[in-house]
Amino acid sequence: MTSDRTESTKASDNLAIQTFNLTKIFNGLVAVDSIELNIKKGELFALLGPNGAGKTTTIKMLCCLLKPTGGTATVMGYDINQQPFKIKEIIGVSPQETTISEHLNAQEHLNLIGRIHNINAKELRNRSQELLETMGLAERAKDQVRKFSGGMMRRLNIMMALIHNPEVLFLDEPTLGLDPQARRAIWEYIVQLKGEKTILLTTHYMDEADFLSDRIGIMDKGKIVALGTSSELKTSMLGKHTMIIYAWNLTQKVINEMRGKYDEVRVSDGTMMISDKQLDFKEVVDHLHSSGAVIRSAYIKEPTLDDVFLRITGKELRE
């Protein structure tokens, strides 16, 4: 199997996915803008970005569903333009839309995908049993899936991507539109897979990317605008601290004083937000207190990926 993979250098041997100027243009609209991405084997990489950032288009190109307009990519050494069927043998894909066959039961879905991948009967039985149990669908295995809840369908969607034990897993918005409980259940399962498989996940939930991924690529308008681990992104990209104060009696005078002292001060409805590289909690509180403001609460806010996104792109992650 390894013999016909494209020649690769030593350095790229431990890479599962590599993109080279990967570009997709739809009728003049640049959906993916020459992205360069290296994802290591066994890594869980999250593409984070708002709707329309180009995440799904990127995944579709890597799954050989879309032909790139320019550039190329390799998945486990196979070229997406030259060897699509080789890639399709070793990947598992959970598409963004819950794509199920209404009148089949859960077991039949797994059998279908398993048999298409020529998994032998015994392995298929064992794996589907195991998946049904870990994903909590064992009792509903024989029910037609049109009776399933949204969460159950999403879980089945992911199971179908896993049944043939793929080397690389693509999860496109795995928890889109699910309630917090169902999201947790799916997160827990994905965490179990970490290290075992290379996973490329897209999401527009920053907490999802934060919780699950080894590395995050923030995507906006078809470009990867930031790349790193969650903490790298938060600290090195920002390098600033933010303090939030709820207070009564904030006079224009004290607001102006604060604006003179710190980089960024914003006030609305009795809430003051102060950002700066250096921020002393006590100093701020004392200053406000001495100017007659009545402080109800004050805290240092940890930066979130949302802040990172806002800082880089100038807009909120969720519109």
Q: Which of 132, 145, 160, 201 binds other proteins (CB under 8 A)?
A: 160
Residue in the structure block whose two tokens are 């996104």: 309
Strands (E), 89-212: 91-94, 168-172, 198-203
- The first and second tokens of residue 312, run together, are 């880089």
- Among the listed ranges 43-51, 115-123, 234-242, 290-298, the one in contact with other proteins (CB under 8 A) is 115-123
The b/e string for 183-215 (b: 16+ C-beta within 10 A; e otherwise) is bebbbebbeebeeebbbbbbbbbbebbbbbbbb
By CB under 8 A, name the one of 42, 52, 84, 228 that touches other proteins. 84
Q: Which of 116, 121, 191, 244 binds other proteins (CB under 8 A)?
A: 116
Shortest Å, Cβ 213 to other proteins: 22
Q: How many residues bind other proteins (CB under 8 A)?
A: 28
Q: CA 66, CA 54: separation in Å to the nearest integer?
A: 13
Least separation in angstroms between residue 104's CB and other proteins is: 6
Q: Is 27 in the site for other proteins (CB under 8 A)?
A: no
Q: Is 165 in the site for other proteins (CB under 8 A)?
A: no
Q: How far is CA 108 from CA 95, 134, 151, 160, in A?
A: 18, 17, 18, 10
3-state secondary structure string across 255-276: HHHHHHHCCEEEEECCEEEEEE
Q: Select 41 or 88, whichever has its Cβ closest to other proteins.
A: 88
The nearer residue to other proteins, 147 or 184, going by C-beta atoms, is: 147
Q: Which stretch binds other proteins (CB under 8 A): 4-12, 88-96, 261-269, 275-283?
A: 88-96
Nearest approach, Cβ of residue 66 and other proteins (Å): 6
Q: Which of 51, 99, 251, 256 binds other proteins (CB under 8 A)?
A: 99
Assess 67 for contact with other proteins (CB under 8 A): yes
User: How far, in Å, CA of 115 to CA of 153, rounded?
Assistant: 20
Rounded Cα gap, residues 215 and 213, in angstroms: 5
Among residues 64, 76, 199, 219, which is the contact residue for other proteins, using CB under 8 A?
64
Report the run of H or E that residue 60 belongs to, with start and end. helix 55-62
**With binding defined as CB under 8 A, does residue 25 bind other proteins?**
no
Closer CB to other proteins, 143 or 207, in the complex = 143
The sheet with strand 168-172 has its strands ordered as 91-94, 168-172, 198-203, 44-48, 215-220, 223-228
Coil vs helix vs strand at 171: strand
Contacting other proteins (CB under 8 A), which of 22, 32, 100, 141?
100
Asked if 160 contacts 113 with a C-beta cutoff of 8 angstroms, the reply is yes
158 binds other proteins (CB under 8 A): no
298 by Cβ neighbours in 10 Å (0-12 / 13-18 / 19+) ranks as: middle
Query: What residue type is assigned to position 6 of the chain?
Result: T
Query: What is the contact mask toward other proteins in residues 270 to 309, using x (rule: CB under 8 A)?
Result: ----------------------------------------
Instruction: Using the rule CB under 8 A, give the single segment among 70-78, 90-98, 223-231, 309-317 that binds other proteins.
Output: 90-98
| Closer residue to other proteins in complex, CB, 116/244 | 116
Residue ranges binding other proteins (CB under 8 A): 63-67, 84-85, 88-89, 91, 93, 95, 97, 99-104, 108, 112-113, 115-117, 144, 160, 170
